[in-house]
């Protein structure tokens, strides 16, 4: 499942609309990337969304 381990952001739900405006349900998944971070001298691999990845790069 696409879920960020830092902010907890998960999938959103919406609708796809055809030309006739008929609605079918769809799912908007979060852009989750696997990255390596150092916490208390230990390296860990976590899954974070692209927004959190940008924020961590600034800090």
Q: Specify the pLDDT at position 1.
A: 72
Beta-bridge mates of residue 16: 24
Q: Specify the pLDDT at position 2.
A: 87
49 close to 22: Cβ distance less than 8 angstroms: no
User: Does 2 reside within a domain?
Assistant: no
Q: Quote the tokens at residue 35.
A: 């990255």
Kind of pairing, strands 32-39 and 23-28? Answer: unpaired
For the chain, the domain total comes to 1
Q: Specify the pLDDT at position 17.
A: 97
Give residue-wise pLDDT tens across range 1-59: 789 999 999 999 999 999 999 999 999 999 999 999 998 999 999 999 999 999 999 98
Rounded distance between C-alpha atoms, residue 39 and residue 5, angstroms: 14
User: Does 1 reside within a domain?
Assistant: no
Q: Specify the pLDDT at position 58.
A: 93
Q: Quote the tokens at residue 51.
A: 């927004």
User: Does 3 reside within a domain?
Assistant: no
């Amino acid at each position: 499942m696409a879920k960020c381990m830092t902010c907890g952001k998960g999938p959103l739900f919406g609708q796809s609309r055809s030309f006739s405006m008929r609605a079918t349900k769809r799912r908007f998944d979060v852009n989750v990337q696997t990255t390596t971070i150092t916490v208390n001298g230990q390296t860990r691999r976590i899954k974070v969304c692209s927004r959190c990845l940008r924020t961590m790069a600034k800090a």
